[in-house]
Amino acid sequence: LVFTTAYAVNKGFESIARASEILVVIVVIIAITITLLLIEKFDFSNFLPLWPSNWRAIFKSSFNVLAFPFGETIVLLAVFYQFDKTKKVFPSYFWGSLLAFVVLLQVVVRNTAVLGEFSKYSSYPAYDAARLANVAQIISRVEVLISINYMFAGYIKVTSTYYVLCRALKEIFSLPSYKRLVFPLGALISLTVISHQSTIVQNLFFVIEIYPYYAIIPQFFIMLIAAVLLLLKRKRVAL
């Protein structure tokens, strides 16, 4: 995976974007298909009671989702300036985020309707829900599609952040080209992944309990400071 992402990053962001257009369509189709295959397993009593008794847990979960995955989209700010039609940047970003929200929402609804309370204790609820799909004893064992979705979605995320990292380091160190950093950083990423979290439990604990609290610094505060400085600069130029 690191080799393929390094190759894509070396080819440039346009190549990443063109590949992502195809992969996103596949991811959405697979997500909807699995939901349709599991409709007969839906039990909407799993959503009761509708009025939550623990608002603190609701706010904490919302904060986590805001930080991961939606907050991570700020990395795209590093490539927006490359677009020829800058006026289309915000509409594209908005509709892309809305599509991601709708797809994730239907996945959460599907997993809850199928698994109920078990979804809270499952490391991969989407995978466990897909295992239950069985249409007329013909269509079953579709959990492999979940693995494909994880792989494609992960590829899009890794290539995008990988590219932005190379571009950022190129600007910081005033290098003539970011391509000199692609494969050395790929090797470093491989070593980091191996030594980061050894189990899925550690990874989930990090994502839920630790990551959102330090991710808020670049995702919110630094962006807020940058926006204020930009407004002050524009006012100064206008004067």
CA 130, 155, 151 angle in degrees (round to 5)?
25
Based on the fold, state whether residues 116 and 224 are members of the same structural domain: no
Whether 133 and 152 map to the same domain: the answer is yes
Tell me, yes or no, whether 236 and 151 share the same domain: no
pTM: 0.80
- What pLDDT digit, counting tens, does each position of 96-129 carry? 888 888 998 899 899 989 988 888 788 788 888 8
Q: Which of 41, 46, 50, 35 lies closest to 116, judged by CA?
A: 46
Q: Are residues 77 and 187 in the same domain?
A: yes
What Rg value do the Cα atoms of the chain yield, rounded? 21
Q: Does residue 8 sit in helix, strand or coil? A: helix
Same domain, 107 and 222: no
Give the number of domains in the chain. 2
Give the span between the Cα atoms of 104 and 215, in whole angstroms: 21
User: Same domain, yes or no, for 182 and 217?
Assistant: no
Within a 13 Å sphere around the CA of 205, how many CA atoms are in the beta-carbon half?
A: 7
99 and 171 in a single domain? The answer is yes
Q: Give the CA dihedral 183, 188, 190, 196, nearest 10 degrees.
A: -160
Q: Percentage of residues in the chain with pLDDT exceeding 90?
A: 9
Q: Return the structure tokens found at 2.
A: 């690191």
Q: Both 217 and 190 in a single domain?
A: no
Claim to verify: residue 16 and residue 111 sit in the same structural domain: yes
SS3 134: strand
pLDDT digits (tens, 9 = 90+) for 41-94: 898 888 877 776 777 777 877 777 777 777 788 888 777 777 766 677 788 888
Residue 114, SS3 per DSSP: helix
Give yes or no: residues 121 and 225 share one domain.
no
- Residues constituting the chain: 239
Task: Return the pLDDT at 29.
Answer: 93
The CB density around residue 197, as the number of other CB atoms within 10 Å, is: 13
In a shared domain, residues 118 and 234: no
Same domain, 148 and 228: no
- Contact between residue 46 and residue 116 where contact means Cβ atoms under 8 Å apart: yes
Give the residue numbers spanning the domain of 72: 2-196
